[in-house]
Amino acid sequence: MAMLLLISVLVFSMAFSISSEAFSPQPGICYGQLGNNLPSPEKAVQLINSLHAKRVKIYDANRDILDALKNTRLQVSIMVPNELISNISSNQTLSDHWVLTNIVPFQPHTLIRYLLVGNEILSTTPNGTWPHLVPAMRRIKRSLKTFGIRKVKVGTSSAMDVLETSFPPSNGAFRKDIASGVMKPMLNFLNRTKSFFFLDVYPFFAWASDPVNINLDYALFESRNVTVTDPGTGLVYTNLFDQMVDAVYFAMNRLGFPDVRIFIAETGWPNGGDIDQIGANIYNAATYNRNFVKKVTAKVGTPARPGSVLPSFLFALFNENQKPGPGTERNFGLLYPNGSRVYDIDLSGKTPESEFRPLPPPENNTPFKGRIWCVAARRDNVTALAAALSYACSQGNGTCDPIQPGKRCFKPDSLFWHASYAFSSYWAQLRKIGGTCYFDGLAMQTAKDPSYGSCKFPSVTL
């Protein structure tokens, strides 16, 4: 069995040592818009060009952005919203209308080359939407053909959680709940249309979930001595990214589709985060992203597909202050919203690192030890703060009892202080089951104890 697997991977590798088409290895950039302080699309396009990006990916079909991208050399990826997938899957007229409205007016001056039907549908959408995904992709492809648009590749972005097993890479297999019903027809569609499997790959999250057993340098493409050998194939891995990507190649091969190419729809490393988040800092972000650019522009491929080109998008253009979730979600940008660089990077890979400014040393590559509180970060929006206080008090078990009239934390009778107590109490109770210290940007973590007098704020101890 081991010999058969080895023969299989050798054929697998040889088939992709030369790319079937000339795709630029130069990365693109993901242009998210979840910020209330971002520059205009025109300014953003100037900044994208200053980074020497080859492509740009947006998460909708924003007309202002598509207009700003006219007459540039940037290849563009747009997206059909998740909520339209079910309707489009059964309605060719709706599909035609979407393409007529969102693509046709920009042809040929905006170089729309990729159309993603939804974002990580198989991770976040209830089962009811999954059967509609591939039919929607087929209808969108038919609509493009109707309007004579032939250069647009149709796909959908998937996260690594589409896999049930990923280690060693040769054991890569799709989840049983989607393998035959969704993945097989999708791969058939991608193979038939010569499109890509668009994959979101984040070694950061894999490393951060197990920093004891996964070497940080291995995750950052910096490993000199740490390697992982796949016992099934003998392939040797020098970084976590290759290991993750090859697991998907083997999963596709297992379903009978060894020829489908992977397009890295997102990858990156956060430049900042919350106190309880490890390794999210400027040094690591710059190191990962610069090394990623070196890797893909060198066209070395992966151990399972050596020499293959991996077209890609780095995530993201800006730090986006309105993204929900942990602090890392708001700190993946290459740029601050004012357009200044978080750190120096050249997506063409042509600038020597010796010309980049020095990086600040990392200070959170080991887990924080101590207590953390969650407190109100803003006083200006009274209405929103009151609503967040009400929400926090409606969760958990006795979350807000101490701030009731006559109780030990009622005074000072202040919305700000009551919200701070409620946020800390909520987070201390619910963090382990997914509760976050965010509250639509109204809260922040602190290592400084906000307790006073007899009022002791609940905390999280790490």
Catalytically active residues are 120, 266
Residue 359: both structure tokens together: 């990086």
CA 74 – CA 51 distance, rounded (Å): 12
**For residue 34, which of 438, 445, 444, 446 has the smallest C-alpha distance?**
438
For the chain, how long is the longest CA-to-CA vector? 76
- Segment (H or E) for 428: helix 415-430
Question: CB-hemisphere CA count at 13 Å for 165?
Answer: 10
What SS3 state is found at 157? strand
Cis peptide leading into residue 108 (ω within 30°): yes
| Buried residues in 327-363 as b, exposed as e (16+ CB within 10 A) | bbbbbbbbbebeeebbbebbbebeeeeeeeeebeebe
The count of C-alpha atoms lying within 13 angstroms of the C-alpha of 45, restricted to the half-sphere facing its C-beta, is 17
* Residue 65 near residue 93, CB atoms below 8 Å: no
- Say if residue 412 is preceded by a cis peptide, omega within 30 of 0: yes
β-sheet bridge partners, residue 116: 79, 155
Name 374's bridge partners: 445
Q: Are 236 and 228 in contact (CB under 8 A)?
A: yes
> How many whole angstroms separate alpha carbon 247 and alpha carbon 259?
15
Distance CA 396, CA 410 (A): 19
Separation CA 241–CA 12 (nearest Å): 19
DSSP letter for each residue of 204-260: HHHHHH-TTTS-HHHHTT--SS--EE-TTT--EESSHHHHHHHHHHHHHHHTT-TTP
**Contact yes or no for 376/416 (Cβ under 8 A):** yes
Q: Which two tokens stand for residue 280?
A: 């999210």
Q: Give the C-alpha separation, 187 to 79, whole Å.
A: 19
Question: Does the CA dihedral 332-372-362-217 come out positive or negative?
Answer: negative
